[in-house]
Structure 1
Amino acid sequence: MTAELVRGQNHPLPHTRLEIRVSAGAPVIAGATLTDDNGRVPGPEWVVHPGSPALPGIEVSRQAAADHRLAVDLGALPEAAHRVTVLLALPEGAGGPGRFGAVAAPFAAVTALDGTEVAGYTITGLDTESAVVALELYRRQGAWKMRAVGQGYAGGLVAMLADQGLDRAAELAATIHGAVARGMTRSVAAPPPRTAEGDCARHGASLTASAAPGDTAPPAGPPAGPTPTAGPAPTAGAPAEPVADGPISYAHPRRATAPPAPRDGAAAAPPAPPGHPAPQGPPGRPVAGDATGWSMDERLYNQVWGMFEDLARAIAAYRSAVDFAESRMDQELDRVLSDPRSRIGTAGDAARAAARAKCDELTDRAREALDRDLAQLIAESEVVEPALPVAYADWDNPVWHGYRVPGETPMALRLGDLHLPEQPGLRIPMLMRLPLERGLWVDSGRSGSEAAMATDDGELRRLAVDTAVLHAARLLAVHPPGQYAVHAVDPAGAAAASFAPLVDCGVLAAPPASGAQGVSSVLAHLTRRVELVRMAVGSGATDALPPDLDTADQLLIVNDFPHGFDDRAVTQLRYLADEGPAVGVHLLLIADREDASAFGPVLDPLWRSLLRLTPVPDDHLADPWVGHAWTYEPPRLPAGSGVLGKVLSQVVGARPHRWR
């Protein structure tokens, strides 16, 4: 049973691996400090915040948001850390409320990894404070407990950090606010005002990496594109209102059909590049490319992002309205039952029937509004999906049959689809911005979704490798010839059939490495490349790189990790995951996290640094704004299709002579 704490109350923690969920009425900064046995924060390196979002055992979001999920592993904390203090603060200079007294009381809950709530605390009594210590997790006689604190600070982050004994608190507070300000320029703008033409009141959503992979984690994608403006995060607590009757407007509230204004000193951009006519069509009809951008690819990318945002807001409004209707019914039923005169008899029955009827009426009106929004998005999806370029298109899109190796890198590539349970048939492409800034992890384990639990272990591992091969093939196909070299590590040689498309076409730089020696050789080669390039870039001496050094980006596919990896190989892999993306070395890991449990918490930073994908549908991706659990659908080739072989053959054929 969940414990509802009051200020000062403590509660035992049954697990060391936890999640702290924060819900506020406005975007807040979430962070944490680690304190020693004297109750002091020794230095800035003991503070985890949006500018430095991860420390051993704890990870927070990189941006301000109305909802946060903090990943905590108490067993992985440094030995010297005796207390974890969870901090909340309002951003500065964002046009926000500026004080907690002007927003709904924040709520913090500690949950197990399966979502079971251990204890919750509503932080009340705040007024002029702009920062607050929400919770403490502390060690007592070898066991961990939590305490509801609720200590506010009118002096904001500076006063709160100084109160914990941190030197140069003002410098760190400025760093935190600066990181948040930079993040807000990339976040979703506030929803536009409701109009009488039929736009439903919705709530914005943005996907970030705020939760640990393996739990409910955020993806990157269409999700991760920049938007032109920033604004405070909308809240998900207000009930939806009925939508005015009238024709459906297919115009995205922030999608302009005209190209952006020319930059200073630059000529105006043409409406669209050759072969991509500007969007045209009768008013009120969806068209592909109905968004701002300097090219059709950019317009389509922004349109996919807008569709994702619209769906998130529409579903948030619907769920909020249903919750409001049910809450109202519960309140009315409580009033009926609290009066002994109306508990029984015809008066009580009539009151209960009236409460339920009102609930049904509000729910039906909310569903009507949602259906209008869904009809708009479905119609838009039906015209956008066929118009997508190869980088964004599904494998069954006819555009692949006319594939030609591109001459430049696109904005993003598709990793799969996202959908919500209210409308499973409406799939939003999941696009990841390029160049890659983090590695990918295809989870071959059975923990997670019902689809994974119902799949045989061997079949699930095969699907995981097949999925990874499709991701690698698309990455090669959307880049100019010779920009990527691909390496594969298959210690036991168990994935020969799945790797066959890459081997047969000659995509791989060498056959998949097997055995401990093969693993060691590949990792040593790529580690050396990362070290050399980092040193050359850091010293500004890139012309001094060895002439035999391959300057193309490198993709390393690792199957069945950690089998065949010793401690040295694990260390090298972690190094590649952390330092590789910045110098063009990228990791595509196929692994079951449970298989790596023998290494203990040493691999936790590795999992957190990678974007977790699955070979079967799974609802492990979440957005921090409204908390939707998005179902991820992995890419699939059409049955009997030979498109993969044709595409890879063209990729190899277009490579420079030295690659063949």
Structure 2
Amino acid sequence: MTAELVRGQNHPLPHARLEIRVSAGKPVVAGATLGDEDGRVPGAEWVAHPGRPGLPGIEVSRQATTDHRLTVDLDRVPAAVHRMTVLLALPIGPAAPVRFGAVAAPFVAVSDPDGTEIVSYTVTGLDSESAVVALELYRRQSAWKVRAVGQGYAGGLAALLGDQGIDRAGELAAAIQEAVAPGLARTVGTPPPRTTEVRRNAAAASNGTPGGDPGPGPGPGPGPVVGPGPGQGAAPEPPAPTTPQPPAQTHDGPINYTHPGRQSAAPPPPPPAVPPAEPGRPPVPVAGDATGWSMEERLYNQVWGMFEDLARTTAAYRSAVDFAESRLDQELDRALSDPRSRIGGSGDAAREAARAKHDRLTEQAREVLDRDLAQLATESDVVEPALPPAFARWDNPVWHAYRVPMEIPMALRLGDLHLPESPELRIPMLIRLPLERGLWVDSGRGASEAASMVDEGQLRRLAMDTAVSHAARLLAVYPAGEFTVHVIDPAGSAGASLAPLVHSGVLDEPPAAGAQGVSAVLAKLTQRVDLVQMAVRGGASDALPPDLDTAEQLLIVNDFPHGFDDRAVTQLRYLADEGPAVGVHLMLVADREDASAYGPVLDPLWRSLLRVTPVPDDHLADPWVQHAWTYEPPRVPPGSQVLQQVLAQVAEARRTWRR
């Protein structure tokens, strides 16, 4: 039976081999330190962190994610080590929260090798802290115990490490944050907060439908139920508040997933009733069966739920296969090390039995995966046709009935995501609006194998076509007059790709060309950012110039850094850092190799942008288990005029609005 600890409480550990699971509402950095009897850590080499994930007896995650699994073997811990502390810290990033008080309380559980929980602890009472010592494993008379600590540090990771006696703790903290920065840059996003209700299949989980145990593997449960299923041993997340909060005002604060502008405090409407399922079969999926204020919000939450379900069921399958491989290796080693197996055919029989057991475990894991994939595919078939234009593919019939909206939607579809275990099951990649970070459409051939197979000129054309598709979607989902697009095309090489934007009349000005055009556009947008920032900080928004365009702004830059001098590069970095908070967004179409002459100066720029590709590429990660997902860019069906028709309506609505 699991012991639920409170701060300061301890509990004996019956096993030397353990697994520590961390579940948080936002991506966090997980690490561990090895110390003496007084808790002092000899040096930085005794800290396990993403940049150095393995130490004797402990291995931690390499990325900042919402869910971690730390493996512990207390028998391998050096004799001089008497304490092992598990630490959590918030990463530093464009959209990362700055304090634990702004996120759901982290949940930590210690399990034995078969996944059975021994103790659990919810780290509550945090406010301004950005780092915390969650648990402490310590020796007492040759036995090990675990204590719930929950000691937070407002000074962050540097203060935590310094408190444990580590010299130059600030440098180590900076190195840890640098180690997780690439992973944060490629993460798709942060999921919306969970509510206290379990998603659509909670009742079915107890009947043996998806959500059950995949077998002896130690991974999380596979089913498309948000939260653990029976026998999984996964830590339940603390309930998140369901009352809407005001929209976040700064880009460095917590991401708010409530509907933009909604101020009502009424409870959200319940999800639609799910038709009863036949005995022994999973319930029939229904579009919009998640919680939310409106059908749009329920669909948004449902898509995120499907995304998480596919991530976790695949993680469970991979974990079960890894377990089967590990077990096979152990049994083969045992058979070979026994001298008696070398006489007669007993050795061959043992090896055949081990391989048969491996195949059986793998087949069981695949059966569970296929069952869950089938249910997710059925749900996708129901949800996809019901999506509104902002969430729908270009080939969805909803675009043929398109009308310029009256309000901003919750999110925008940037493409599709899928995993190698189920390439036919596509999950919409939805990002919240307004954009919280800029986009980088990578036109480089060296970025992936798929890109290297495409001609350089064709790849650059595809990259610009992808950027125009994204821009057209943004224009289409905003009300008339509330979104403006600027284009910088220094060499004028993107004329064919930009034709839909230019010919429809949705651009206020023609694409800027040459060094003079680059300078003029950057100066205009930089001035807008400065003016709006001063007005917001001074509380004098009515003092803005009457001719200032208050609509959201998108700047598309083609072939960066061609046509950019040092001043222009500095202005672009400024727009990428400060623009999103005041409604100025960047879409960069570039090959990073073209800017290699700038060296590390531009590294913060690339990390601040969400990288997407014009060809399928597996560079994006989910925020739960950090799978490498293949991203599929949005494609207008060949021969379709949907893009031109939509842009024509947008242009007409803009003209009407200005009259």
TM-score bracket for this pair, using the shorter chain length:
0.5 to 0.7
CA distance in 2, matches of 1:460, 1:413: 24
CA distance in 2, matches of 1:647, 1:613: 23
TM-superposed CA distance for 1:533, in Å, is 0.7
CA distance in 2, matches of 1:344, 1:561: 70
Q: CA RMSD in A?
A: 4.1
Judge conservation of contact 2:617–2:630 (CA < 8 Å) in 1.
Answer: yes
Paired position in structure 2 for 1:217: 186
CA distance in 2, matches of 1:391, 1:265: 24
> How big is each residue's C-alpha offset from its partner over 1:535-581, in whole Å with a ceiling of 9 and x where there is no partner?
11111111111111111111100001011111000000000000000
Q: How does 1:80-119 map to 2 (within 5 A)?
A: 89-90=87-88, 94=105, 96-97=107-108
User: Is 1:241 aligned with 2:215?
Assistant: yes
Paired position in structure 2 for 1:466: 465
CA distance in 2, matches of 1:249, 1:313: 8
Paired position in structure 2 for 1:413: 412
- The change in CA–CA distance for 1:317 and 1:98 in structure 2 (over 3 A counts) is closer
Judge conservation of contact 2:114–2:216 (CA < 8 Å) in 1.
Answer: no
TM-superposed CA distance for 1:627, in Å, is 3.0
Q: How does 1:404-443 map to 2 (within 5 A)?
A: 404-443=403-442
CA distance in 1, matches of 2:328, 2:65: 36
Letter in 1 for 2:586: L
Paired position in structure 2 for 1:26: 22
- The change in CA–CA distance for 1:548 and 1:88 in structure 2 (over 3 A counts) is farther
TM-superposed CA distance for 1:349, in Å, is 1.2
Q: How does 1:514-525 map to 2 (within 5 A)?
A: 514-525=513-524
Paired position in structure 2 for 1:142: none
Paired position in structure 2 for 1:499: 498
Letter in 2 for 1:586: H
Judge conservation of contact 1:449–1:617 (CA < 8 Å) in 2.
Answer: no
> How big is each residue's C-alpha offset from its partner over 1:629-651, in whole Å with a ceiling of 9 and x where there is no partner?
11111100001000001101111
CA distance in 2, matches of 1:155, 1:521: 52
1:212 counterpart SS class:
helix
CA distance in 1, matches of 2:584, 2:469: 19
- The change in CA–CA distance for 1:576 and 1:541 in structure 2 (over 3 A counts) is same
Paired position in structure 1 for 2:161: 160
1:548 counterpart SS class:
coil
Q: How does 1:196-595 map to 2 (within 5 A)?
A: 211-212=181-182, 217-220=186-189, 224-228=191-195, 240-241=214-215, 278=272, 281-283=275-277, 284-343=283-342, 345-595=344-594
Judge conservation of contact 2:486–2:556 (CA < 8 Å) in 1.
Answer: yes
Judge conservation of contact 1:391–1:413 (CA < 8 Å) in 2.
Answer: yes
Instruction: Give the TM-score normalised by structure 2.
Output: 0.68
Structure 2 portions without partners, runs of 5+: 1-18, 33-41, 45-49, 52-61, 71-84, 90-99, 116-134, 140-148, 154-158, 199-211, 229-240, 245-262, 278-282
Judge conservation of contact 2:481–2:657 (CA < 8 Å) in 1.
Answer: no
2:496 counterpart SS class:
helix
CA distance in 1, matches of 2:326, 2:216: 18
TM-superposed CA distance for 1:337, in Å, is 1.3
TM-superposed CA distance for 1:165, in Å, is 6.4
CA distance in 2, matches of 1:290, 1:253: 16
Judge conservation of contact 1:102–1:127 (CA < 8 Å) in 2.
Answer: no
Judge conservation of contact 1:462–1:495 (CA < 8 Å) in 2.
Answer: yes
Q: How does 1:49-128 map to 2 (within 5 A)?
A: 65-66=67-68, 89-90=87-88, 94=105, 96-97=107-108, 127-128=137-138
CA distance in 2, matches of 1:271, 1:417: 28
- The change in CA–CA distance for 1:62 and 1:316 in structure 2 (over 3 A counts) is closer
TM-superposed CA distance for 1:164, in Å, is 4.3
TM-superposed CA distance for 1:97, in Å, is 4.5
Letter in 2 for 1:160: L
1:549 counterpart SS class:
coil
TM-superposed CA distance for 1:64, in Å, is 5.7
> How big is each residue's C-alpha offset from its partner over 1:345-390, in whole Å with a ceiling of 9 and x where there is no partner?
4211111111100000011111111111011001000010011000
Paired position in structure 1 for 2:255: none
Judge conservation of contact 2:269–2:291 (CA < 8 Å) in 1.
Answer: no
TM-superposed CA distance for 1:24, in Å, is 6.2
1:399 counterpart SS class:
helix
TM-superposed CA distance for 1:211, in Å, is 4.2
TM-superposed CA distance for 1:447, in Å, is 2.2
Letter in 1 for 2:214: A
Judge conservation of contact 1:250–1:285 (CA < 8 Å) in 2.
Answer: no
CA distance in 1, matches of 2:370, 2:634: 27
Instruction: Give the TM-score normalised by structure 1.
Output: 0.67
Letter in 1 for 2:137: D
CA distance in 1, matches of 2:216, 2:68: 24
CA distance in 1, matches of 2:450, 2:469: 20
TM-superposed CA distance for 1:507, in Å, is 1.1
1:437 counterpart SS class:
coil
Judge conservation of contact 1:392–1:414 (CA < 8 Å) in 2.
Answer: yes
TM-superposed CA distance for 1:225, in Å, is 2.7
Letter in 1 for 2:575: L
- The change in CA–CA distance for 1:579 and 1:62 in structure 2 (over 3 A counts) is farther
Judge conservation of contact 1:67–1:626 (CA < 8 Å) in 2.
Answer: no
Paired position in structure 2 for 1:144: none
Judge conservation of contact 2:224–2:306 (CA < 8 Å) in 1.
Answer: no
> How big is each residue's C-alpha offset from its partner over 1:5-33, in whole Å with a ceiling of 9 and x where there is no partner?
xxxxxxxxxxxxxxxxxx9643563489x
- The change in CA–CA distance for 1:395 and 1:279 in structure 2 (over 3 A counts) is farther
1:620 counterpart SS class:
strand
Letter in 1 for 2:29: I
- The change in CA–CA distance for 1:525 and 1:249 in structure 2 (over 3 A counts) is closer
CA distance in 2, matches of 1:340, 1:563: 70
CA distance in 1, matches of 2:425, 2:647: 30
> How big is each residue's C-alpha offset from its partner over 1:61-108, in whole Å with a ceiling of 9 and x where there is no partner?
77664179xxxxxxxxxxxxxxxxxx961479946459999999xxxx
Judge conservation of contact 2:390–2:473 (CA < 8 Å) in 1.
Answer: yes
> How big is each residue's C-alpha offset from its partner over 1:30-58, in whole Å with a ceiling of 9 and x where there is no partner?
489xxxxxx999xxxxxx99xxxxxxxxx
TM-superposed CA distance for 1:623, in Å, is 2.8
- The change in CA–CA distance for 1:618 and 1:332 in structure 2 (over 3 A counts) is same
CA distance in 2, matches of 1:429, 1:265: 29
CA distance in 2, matches of 1:597, 1:167: 32
> How big is each residue's C-alpha offset from its partner over 1:462-499, in whole Å with a ceiling of 9 and x where there is no partner?
10000000100101111111101110000111110000
CA distance in 2, matches of 1:447, 1:590: 15
TM-superposed CA distance for 1:605, in Å, is 0.4
Judge conservation of contact 1:242–1:366 (CA < 8 Å) in 2.
Answer: no
User: Is 1:614 aligned with 2:610?
Assistant: no
TM-superposed CA distance for 1:450, in Å, is 2.0
Q: Taking every aligned residue pair, what percent have the same amino acid on both sides?
A: 65
TM-superposed CA distance for 1:461, in Å, is 0.5
CA distance in 1, matches of 2:335, 2:268: 66
CA distance in 1, matches of 2:266, 2:151: 49
Letter in 1 for 2:576: A
CA distance in 1, matches of 2:276, 2:243: 27
> How big is each residue's C-alpha offset from its partner over 1:276-310, in whole Å with a ceiling of 9 and x where there is no partner?
xx566453211111111111001101110111111
2:431 counterpart SS class:
strand
1:458 counterpart SS class:
helix
